Each structure stands twice: as C-alpha cells, then as structure tokens.
Amino acid sequence: MVAGTQGTVSFIGNSPLLTGSFSGLDTAAIIEASLAVKRIPIDRLNNRISENDTRIAAFNEFKALLETMQSAVNGLRNPPGSVGILNNVFEQKSAFVTSNTSTPGTDILGATATNSATAGTYEIDVLQIAQAHKISGGTLADVTTNLGVTETLTVNLAGATAEETVDIAITDGMTATDVVFAINAVTGTTGVRASALKIADGDYRIVFTAEETNRNIELTGAATLAGLNATTPTELDAAQPARLRLDGIATVIERDSNEINDLIDNVTIDLFKADVDAMGDPITTVTLEIEADLTGVRGQIDGFVAAYNDVKLFLKSQSVVSEDGEIDAAAILFGDNLLRSLGRDLGTDIAELVDGLDSTALSTLRNVGIELNDEGLLTVDEGTLNANLVDKLDEVRGVFEFGFQSSSPDVRLVARNELLNVGDFTIVDPGGAIDGTNLQVGGVDAFEVDGGVLRGLDGTIYEGMSLAYNRDTSDVGAPPVNIDISTSLGIAERLYQRLDDYVNAGDGLITEEVIRLSAQNEDFVDEIQTIEARLLIFQNKLIEKYAAMERAVAAAEAASSQLQAFLKGGDD
C-alpha cells in the first residue's frame, strides 16, 4: 500500500477495490459497465421467466373456467359408472305431498327420494306415529341424599343384544343424581336416558326415556329402583309402532320408527302426526308424488350457460386489438393455438345437432330453448326451455346426455369410460353357454362374457363399456339373438369430452402447456445461476486486473518521485 493517495474505496460484491488513487480512472465504474454487458443474457432470461409466469397465470385462470364448465355439463351428460345416476341431474327426484282436507300434507308427513327412485303417486293414511317409551319414578324428597345401595343396575331396551346392555355398578354413597349421571354416561350403548326433574320443593321425579321408538325400557336392580322410588314406575308414554295404510291396501303397515325407508324403494318417509277420528279411521289422506326435479335440471342448465359464457368472454378478452392495431395489455394469450382451436371446437359442439335421436325429437340447443346471440354467447328463451322441461323432459335429456337404447330388455348399460363414441352396433349372441367367451360385432370379437356382464374388449372402440346381460349365460339351451344397440353423444357429453382433452390432470393440453412453461422456467433459473457463477469469476479477474494496474501505476509514480528527488538533490 502507498500512503497519502487521494483515491476512494469501492466494493464490487463483497470485494474492496481502491479506485482513482493513481491512475485517475474510475475502475469500479469500468468493471460495473463490463459486468452489465455480460448480464444482458440474464436480464433477457428474467424477462422470459416473467413472461412465462404471466402466461402460466393466464392459462390457470382459463383452466379454472374450463373446469367449472366441465363440472356444469357433467350432471347433464349421464355420468358413467355405478354412481353415475347419483350425479345425473335428470335422475334427481323431488317428493311432493298434498292432502284431501284443510290439514296440510306436510303437517302429517315428509318425504325425500334418491335419484334411483321411480316416479309415481301414492296415497298414505297415517293411523298412528311411533312413540318412545317414557316412565317416571315416584316422588323423592331430594336427589342429593345417599341412597345407601350397593348392587348392579342393568339397563337396556327390550330385545337388546349383549352389546347393547350395560351393567352399572351402584356403590354406597351414590345419590339419585349420581345414578342419573351413570345411566346417561352409557346412553349411546343402551338407548336409555334419565332425567332428574324438580316438580316442586320436596318433589323430585326420576324420568327414564327410550332413545328409540317402539322399544320398552328394561331396568334390573331392585334396591336401586327402590331407592329411586321407581320399583313400579308410572308409564308416561307407551312404546308403540307407526301404523299406516298405503294406496288403500287393507293391511295395516307397521314400523318401529317414524322414519320409514323400506316401504317405497329409494324413498324415505318421515311421519309427523296421525290424523284420525275417535274410531281410529283416517280423516286426512296424504298424496305423495315422486317426480323429476325440474328445478334441479333448470339450475344445472343455467349453470352450464353461465359457465360457457364465462369461457367465451375469456376467449374474447384474449383477442382484443385496438383501432391502431395494438394488442390489448390484458390479452396475454393473444394468438395462442390452444385457445384458438378450443374456441373453434366449442362453437362446433354447441351448434351441431345430436345424431341418433328420433327424427321428430328435439336435437339441438336451439330446439331446447338455448340460443347463441350475435356475440357468440348463450341466451335462454325462458318460455321455450321451461315448456320443454315440463312437456319434453326426455327429449331435452337426449340433446344433452349420452344416450343408450337396446332392442333387448335384458341388456342395459352399467358403465362406460368417459370418451366412448360407438354409435349404433349389433351384438351377436350365438346362443347356448357363452360365459367366458367373446361376442362379436360385425364379425369381430368385441365383448367378453363374464357371468351376467358383457365387457368391451381392450383395443376395440367398445373398451370401457360394460353391459348387464340378464340371461343365464351358462344355459346351453339358450336361443341365438341379435342385440341392437343405439347410442348418441349429446351436447353435454361432447363438451365434457372436449374439455377433458384440455384440462385432464394427466395429459390435458393446457395442463401439459403449464407444465412445459414451468419446466422452461426451471431451465432458465439454472441457466441464470450458471451465468452468475461465471460472472463472479469474471468480476474477480477484473478486480485483480485493475488492482494490479493501480499497483503498477503507484510503483511508477513512486519511482518517478524518487528520481525527481534524486535529481533535485544533485542540483543542490
């Protein structure tokens, strides 16, 4: 180091650099300028990362809209699989109750129906509702006095299993309150609940209530019951079953509970009260109607229309160009091939008629009451759609869902994969025992026979289709039969398949594009890190280079100063 210089100390990264001391050059600025040139590729890569992040965000926004639309059309397309009926809005049922008197039917009973329920009308007379057993002990002066009892109190309901019966240890020192607490601690097992009621000062009663209707309370433990003054309890409510008549059938139907789910298949009936005269004859008859849930269907259709329009508005937002030809700043995905192709295909799917339907049936969205306006958005003709839902529900279904019809009542569709497009075909059953063999379509093996199920063979267009075949496939004497199958791809089914090509979590086109952009960003980050490492080496070399230059200049200036001093001394 040379003392007395006029330079400044700068830092390049964490490395100190003496600048301007001898050379008069701002070497720190020179190094920064050199590094800035070398950093241009990094700046470009960071810009690429930022652009990709923006595109990824836009694609994810678009994907979310498509997923919402796919969910909306799923309920309209006759979803496949054994649980498909549960998600099929056209199979949803509503239960309505009315009465033949001024007493509202809903005061007497309520009902719910699953999608598997069959539409129909039933007349119900409620003669008696089920009732839980309730008994009360006699008067106790208080409930905090030691009962002075040591024994086992057994608690259960009539007909209880060993697992539903509990032996409670009653020990000396326990009060009535303690016994009540002990009984309630096992109510979940025994189905018996106890309460200590204060009727008045010096008048307490222990009341026992069954948690289930039409089952008597059973208590065993003489000493304990005597201490509770409940050896011969008073019956407050008798255990009794529900009693009703259905559709005028003379036989009275009895059930243990007021919730009845085994009278009408897939319908649960909740009884609220009986409406009978003094002789026990019904005053009010309730009419129960099980019908298609048109409100649910309309709501699903409205959800589809809204979701489709959201997708179309996004597509339009990505193609906005100003009058002077400038692309709108929000059009992040302007000109993207995925958006362009999907927009074109969605328009085709919406506008096309559905093949395979009866020639007189509704076959387009326009027929149903849903039209495209001048902006390419869907609008609903309220009158037409509502009238079709009431009068032509099956035809509306045909326009939307995957249709299946068989010439044989013994064949029905039980499962299909999500991308099945098979049109019309004929399965040839040669007769006789066919279990474990293959059935042909057009002279080519197409379905394997597995007991009462026909499964589409792998590698054929029928792969993923499963048909229930209600004939004994091991019967050697069964006659041959040709089974004609007709299928149709409704608009909701087509849209679901189309959207799945783009948003499928595994190989959807948008999913893959987001993965590609994310992977590209990871590569860019790796490349930036490599360049940064090289720049650090380059920076250190520059620092050393200019430090060496400063040392050389300093040495030269020192030598010059010494020479001048020597020469000056010689003159003296």
Q: What is the CATH number of the domain that holds 211?
A: 3.30.70
Q: Per-residue pLDDT tens, the chain, 572 aa: give them.
A: 333 344 454 555 666 555 555 666 777 777 788 888 888 898 899 899 999 899 999 999 999 999 999 999 999 998 877 677 778 899 899 999 999 999 999 999 999 999 889 999 999 999 999 999 999 999 999 999 999 999 999 999 999 999 999 999 999 999 999 999 999 999 999 999 999 999 999 999 999 999 999 999 999 999 999 999 999 999 999 999 999 999 999 999 999 999 999 999 999 999 999 999 999 999 999 999 999 999 999 999 999 999 999 999 999 999 888 777 788 888 888 888 999 999 999 999 998 888 888 889 999 999 999 999 999 999 999 999 999 999 999 999 999 999 889 999 999 988 887 667 888 999 999 999 999 999 999 999 999 999 999 999 999 999 989 999 999 999 999 999 999 999 988 999 999 989 999 998 888 899 999 999 999 999 999 998 998 888 888 888 887 787 777 777 777 777 887 888 878 776 65
> Could you tell me if residue 431 is inside a domain?
yes
Same domain, 425 and 478: yes
What is the C-alpha separation between 241 and 215, in angstroms, rounded?
9
The sign one gets for the Cα dihedral 126, 128, 131, 134 is positive
The sign one gets for the Cα dihedral 252, 257, 260, 261 is negative
Same domain, 286 and 300: no
What is the C-alpha separation between 55 and 333, in angstroms, rounded?
7
> Could you tell me if residue 567 is inside a domain?
yes
Same domain, 317 and 271: no
Same domain, 247 and 117: yes
Q: Looking at residue 532, what is its pLDDT? A: 87
Q: Could you tell me if 397 and 380 are in contact, meaning their C-beta atoms sit under 8 angstroms apart?
A: no
**How many helices (H) and strands (E) would you count in the chain?**
14, 27
Q: Looking at residue 396, what is its pLDDT? A: 95
Same domain, 215 and 170: yes
Q: Give the range of the structural domain holding residue 369, as residue numbers without chain letter.
A: 294-400
Kindly give the residue spans of alpha helices, DSSP state H, lying in 88-228. Answer: 105-108, 176-185, 187-190, 222-227
How many domains in the chain? 5
> Could you tell me if residue 163 is inside a domain?
yes
CA-nearest of 19, 7, 8, 21 to 555 is 21
Q: Looking at residue 559, what is its pLDDT? A: 83
Q: Looking at residue 17, what is its pLDDT? A: 56
Same domain, 274 and 261: yes
Domain boundary among 435, 469, 489: 489
Same domain, 330 and 387: yes
What is the C-alpha separation between 572 and 566, in angstroms, rounded?
10
Same domain, 110 and 247: yes
- Single-letter residue type at 248: G
Q: Looking at residue 210, what is its pLDDT? A: 98
> Could you tell me if residue 223 is inside a domain?
yes
Same domain, 123 and 139: no
Neighbouring C-alpha atoms within 13 Å toward the C-beta of 58: 20
> Could you tell me if residue 167 is inside a domain?
yes
What is the C-alpha separation between 76 and 67, in angstroms, rounded?
15
Q: Looking at residue 11, what is its pLDDT? A: 58
Q: Looking at residue 21, what is its pLDDT? A: 57
Q: Looking at residue 283, what is its pLDDT? A: 96
What is the C-alpha separation between 461 and 487, in angstroms, rounded?
13
Same domain, 458 and 418: yes
> Could you tell me if residue 222 is inside a domain?
yes
Domain boundary among 225, 258, 292: 292
Same domain, 450 and 394: no
Token pair belonging to 491: 């608009």
pTM, to two decimals: 0.75
424-429 and 378-380 beta bridge pairing? unpaired
Same domain, 126 and 266: yes
> Could you tell me if residue 83 is inside a domain?
no
What is the C-alpha separation between 345 and 266, in angstroms, rounded?
40
Domain boundary among 292, 311, 328: 292
> Could you tell me if residue 69 is inside a domain?
no
Q: Is 108 exposed, middle or buried (0-12, 13-18, 19+ CB in 10 A)?
A: buried
